[in-house]
Amino acid sequence: GAVVSQHPSWVICKSGTSVKIECRSLDFQATTMFWYRQFPKQSLMLMATSNEGSKATYEQGVEKDKFLINHASLTLSTLTVTSAHPEDSSFYICSARDQEQLQETQYFGPGTRLLVL
């Protein structure tokens, strides 16, 4: 149980285009999902907290108009990188919390590697 998937696993796009990344909880419902970014040789940095049915909460320094988050159902959150630039190239990882569990265990997706040319 507690499987989180991401799609696509990797994507290459041209500068100026938008890229959508999906995060799905496969066998549990998640009212809250989290989006992280990881640059090479660095740790994961939280970008935003995605709440089902409401607006996402962004961390300081993360542009909400550039990184659009939609959490329309209890099993799906999407992150859209708008007008992508080479500096947005990174490893994007989502996590989801099983709302049936009382404790704060988060389960992570396999990540999406984005390369902007």
Shortest reach from residue 83's CB to another protein, in Å: 26
Nearer to another protein, 34 or 84 (CB): 34
Q: Which tokens is 83 given? A: 């007008």
The label of the residue with tokens 């992508």 reads 84
Binding segment for another protein (CB under 8 A), chosen from 11-19, 62-70, 72-80, 95-103, is 95-103
Return the residue of 32, 75, 78, 90 that touches another protein, per CB under 8 A. Answer: 32
- Give yes or no for residue 77 binding another protein (CB under 8 A): no
Return the residue of 7, 20, 66, 113 that touches another protein, per CB under 8 A. Answer: 113
The label of the residue with tokens 């999906």 reads 22
